[in-house]
Structure 1
Amino acid sequence: MEKIPFVQRIKRANGRIDLYFRRGDFREGPLLSPDNTEELRAEVDAILRRIQQAIQAKTPRPGTVGAMLKQYNKSAEFLALARSTQREYQRLIDEIEADAGDTLLGEVTAPWMRDMRDAWAVRGYKAANDRLQVLKNALEPAIDDGRVKEDPFARLKKVRRPHDTDEAHPSWEDHEVQAVIDLALSRKMPGLARAIALGRWGGFRRGTICSLPRNARLDAHDEQGRAYKRLYWITEKRRVLADKREDGRLTALLASTPNRALTIAYNQRGDPWKPRQLNQAVDRLLDHLAKTNQVRPNLTIHGLRHARGVELALAGATDAEIMSQLEHATDRAAKIYRRQADRRQMADAAQNKVDTVIKLRDRRRSDALAAVHGE
């Protein structure tokens, strides 16, 4: 009899041979039928039919929102995204499919889209807007070719951020950066201190902080022949070239801490950080310091990058210079940093004027009192 496909034979210590079904990610067994029998072939065929039924049950019907979502995550647009963004988008795709995957494209109208937005809004403004963006990306081909009769996003407003919502990633103050670095060093975690330094003085995103290798630091010389370090690397998220002189504060921190891994930053085992692991390590330090009011309780590791952006803007850097420093692909974030810097400078200038008025008022009052006593 011909060998039956997808059957794996495992020989046990007692000499018995157990049969298992194996096909890709599908596993089943031990099988009940004897080897190389018609009964075994029938058992395997029954398993194959169940697998096919399961695949068909998971396959969206043509002409539905689910089918467009399935098509989107195989598109060139989706595949061009950074892997971290792909994972986040895939999570959203799965959730949208569960919510609306069976909806026919002919039912996708502006009122339907408003209802979906409002239903998602209870999960938070960002959660709702992220789902709307992914759904818009997925439905774009159907809108273009008329399968969706009108553009349901044309006049659809995003969910507005509540006025009492904190800034998502507030910029760190310098004393907060130093407090966290000092605590990391006191706990014998130099690799974590290095991660903080890369975020604050390198302006890198979390993914690049975790993966930036030591050989990304190049030896260079300025026009006067003085040696300095230069950072040269393709960033993880946007795949933008980082080619910049290393900030002296970062150079000093790296020089004072040991190299224990092929990456600049590392965990306590001397391995590269994983993004979630790094988040948790930073959060533990922040939670400890927040109890004594040394840092604010709502800081995040991405706020280090914001602090770098605002610092550049306050120093007078142009949008193009900020983009080059922070490896931005567009000037949108640079304009945000400049607005934050302008707001801070204007607020300080306004306070200076108030201080001047108070001093002038106090001086006049003193002069008036002196004149009265003099008479």
Structure 2
Amino acid sequence: DRIAKVELANSTPRPGTVGGMLKAYRKSSDFITLAQITRSGYDDYIEEQIADIGDVLLGEVTRSWIIDLRNAWALRGHNAANKRMQVLKNALAPAILDEKDTRIDGDPFHKVARVKRPHEAGEANPAWHDHEVTAAIEDAIARDTPGLARAIALGRYGGFRRGTICNLPLHARINGHDDHGETERRLYWITEKRIVLSDKREDHRLTEILARTPNRAFTVAYNAKGMKWKERQLNQAVERLLNRLAKAGKVRAATDDDGNVYCPLTIHGLRHARGVELALAGASDSEIMSQLEQASEAAAKIYRRQAERRKMADSAQDKIDNVIKLRTRKSAKNAG
């Protein structure tokens, strides 16, 4: 039924409707220049919204209507709801921002809050611990899946997003020279999502993993067939590996509602681990941004705050430990 509605809406342009704005957005430069993975996800939301709300007139788009829509989408989860809201907001932006366009009264998205992450939900994409990274890489190598080990190493020691992990070609590893004229290995590539230049010295830990594993594809990382990873395929491979290690007690574990053991780590958590590591090492926001190929310093500030909280927490624990030691010594002295 939804497919029929989408086909009808696509074949019959309706000016002045939400569906018309969604179709116009799909053809806009703002949409076309999005990263492929983002564009693909947005495409699904656009088709869904054309079928569900495409016939709504722009004059009927009000703040209360937006809130009702957000609340309905919230039943599908906070992330799904917020992404759908973003797609709709992008599509309606031309009509909202154009002062001469009076079809939509004011900004219906004004002060409409995003759907919050449930309090009981765990941390999204938690940073991996070093022993978990080592366990995963060694397990992948032992099971003759070196391309998976390389993917994990690229995420942790290169700080790359999933799209770049899948697509980084062998020729992105180049020989450069340091300030003293010595040869050094560098990573030189335009990243997939933000289209930002990556030009940085290769972490020696990444170099060691790549030296231990063979080149079997034109990309640095590859699947069991020696082919370039597809993003969903890589997610599934990492999930299977981590769940197996969680059951063996080698990485952190959690249980679902049915009592099944699984690992809450994700491949994106490798990038977070790199970000926190940079912050703990004293890297500035600009340095973190450059290392992680970010378009702004916003995420870098988050990593630095996490590192500062960790340092402060450890410092507080040191003070407690010192107080306990002093009490123990005093008690021992009084007893003597």
- Fold equivalence (TM over 0.5): yes
Partner of 2:51: 98
For the pair 1:266 / 2:219, whether they are aligned, the reply is no
Question: Out of 289, 300, 304, which is 1:323 matched to?
Answer: 289
Question: Out of 77, 81, 89, which is 1:124 matched to?
Answer: 77
Question: Out of 77, 87, 95, which is 2:40 matched to?
Answer: 87
Shift of 1:220: 2.2
Q: Give the whole-Å Cα distance in 1 for the aligned partners of 2:268 and 2:113.
A: 27
Shift of 1:293: 2.1
Shift of 1:363: 1.3
Partner of 1:65: 18
Shift of 1:55: 5.5
Conservation of the 8 A alpha-carbon contact between 1:60 and 1:101? no
Larger Rg: 1 or 2?
1
Question: Out of 47, 62, 83, which is 1:109 matched to?
Answer: 62
How high is the TM-score relative to the length of structure 1? 0.82
For the pair 1:304 / 2:270, whether they are aligned, the reply is yes
**More relative contact order in 1 or in 2 (CA 8 Å, sep 6+)?**
2
Q: Which structure 1 segments of 5+ residues have no match?
A: 1-53, 371-375
Q: How many residues align?
A: 317
Percent of aligned pairs sharing the same letter: 63
Partner of 1:37: none
2:217 aligned counterpart, secondary structure: coil
For the pair 1:141 / 2:107, whether they are aligned, the reply is no
Conservation of the 8 A alpha-carbon contact between 1:121 and 1:128? yes
Shift of 1:101: 1.3
Q: What pairs with 1:153-232 in structure 2 (closer than 5 Å)?
A: 153-232=109-188
Residues 41-73 of structure 1 deviation map (CA, whole Å, 9 limit, x = unaligned): xxxxxxxxxxxxx66774342211111111111
1:265 aligned counterpart, secondary structure: coil
The list of structure 1 runs, each at least 4 consecutive aligned residues, that deviate by more than 3 angstroms after superposition, is: 54-58, 223-226
Residues 237-292 of structure 1 deviation map (CA, whole Å, 9 limit, x = unaligned): 11100000000100111111111111111112211111111111111110100102
Task: Give the aligned CA root-mean-square deviation in angstroms.
Answer: 1.4
Q: Which amino acid aligns with 1:117?
A: R
Q: Which amino acid aligns with 1:254?
A: L
Q: Give the whole-Å Cα distance in 2 for the aligned partners of 1:257 and 1:155.
A: 52
For the pair 1:255 / 2:208, whether they are aligned, the reply is no
Q: Give the whole-Å Cα distance in 1 for the aligned partners of 2:210 and 2:188.
A: 16
Question: Out of 321, 342, 349, which is 2:308 matched to?
Answer: 342
Residues 102-131 of structure 1 deviation map (CA, whole Å, 9 limit, x = unaligned): 111111111111111111111111111111
Shift of 1:224: 3.8
How high is the TM-score relative to the length of structure 2? 0.91
1:220 aligned counterpart, secondary structure: strand
Q: Give the whole-Å Cα distance in 2 for the aligned partners of 1:367 and 1:58.
A: 89
Conservation of the 8 A alpha-carbon contact between 2:9 and 2:50? no
Shift of 1:167: 1.5
Q: Which amino acid aligns with 2:78?
A: Y
Partner of 2:321: 355
Residues 12-51 of structure 1 deviation map (CA, whole Å, 9 limit, x = unaligned): xxxxxxxxxxxxxxxxxxxxxxxxxxxxxxxxxxxxxxxx
Question: Out of 192, 201, 206, which is 1:245 matched to?
Answer: 201
Conservation of the 8 A alpha-carbon contact between 1:121 and 1:127? yes
Q: Give the whole-Å Cα distance in 2 for the aligned partners of 1:141 and 1:273.
A: 37
